[in-house]
């Protein structure tokens, strides 16, 4: 059984890693988020998160949104093939405790799993 941890090897950390995903990735858009995904050179999935001050003013809310994104990814990372994923906050969010945010993420991760075959073959 795979462990459900989120170690540094599963994170996009460097600017050139983010740039590669932004330039070449497949975009999946929803109400709140944009998922940009590309096949990875590694066998495990990696996650990068971008939540700007323009879209979410309070740092408390930005950090909460990032925690929710990381938690969804942590639970599904072993169901994804080796992909690099960047999650962008698309629209402004006033209340980070809104259950619609979590529901939107859940729906988008399900779409990502279904579309992963397309992004891995690119």
pLDDT tens-digit series, residues 79-102: 888 899 999 999 888 777 778 888
The answer to whether residue 29 is domain-embedded is yes
The answer to whether residue 32 is domain-embedded is yes
Lowest mean pLDDT among 11-15, 33-37, 118-122: 118-122
The answer to whether residue 35 is domain-embedded is yes
Name the average pLDDT for the chain.
Answer: 87
Domain count, the chain: 1
In whole angstroms, give the CA distance from residue 102 to residue 42. Answer: 28
The answer to whether residue 96 is domain-embedded is yes
The answer to whether residue 74 is domain-embedded is yes
* pLDDT above 70 for 122: no
The Cα-based distances of 41 to 11, 44, 104 in angstroms read 14, 9, 28
Q: Which residue, chain included where needed, has tokens 């998160």?
A: 49
Q: Which of 89, 83, 86 is nearest to 65 (CA)?
A: 89
Q: Report DSSP letters for 32-63, one per residue.
A: SEEEEEEE-SSSS-EEEEE--TTT--SHHHHH
* pLDDT above 60 for 121: no
What is the pTM assigned to this prediction?
0.87
The answer to whether residue 87 is domain-embedded is yes
Domain that holds residue 62: 8-116
In whole angstroms, give the CA distance from residue 21 to residue 75. Answer: 22
For residue 89, what is the domain's CATH number? 3.30.230.10
The more confident residue out of 3 and 35 is 35
The answer to whether residue 100 is domain-embedded is yes
* pLDDT above 80 for 36: yes
């Amino acid at each position: 059984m795979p462990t459900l941890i989120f170690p540094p090897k599963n994170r996009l950390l460097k600017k050139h890693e983010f740039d590669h995903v932004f330039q070449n990735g497949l975009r999946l858009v929803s109400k709140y988020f944009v998922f940009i995904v590309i096949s990875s050179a590694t066998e495990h999935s990696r996650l990068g998160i971008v939540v700007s001050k323009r879209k979410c003013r309070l740092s408390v809310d930005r950090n909460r949104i990032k925690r929710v994104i990381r938690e969804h990814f942590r639970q599904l990372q072993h169901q994804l093939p080796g992909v690099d994923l960047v999650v962008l906050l698309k629209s402004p969010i006033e209340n980070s405790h809104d259950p619609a945010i979590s529901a939107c993420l859940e729906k988008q991760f399900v779409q990502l799993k279904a579309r992963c075959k397309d992004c891995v073959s690119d």
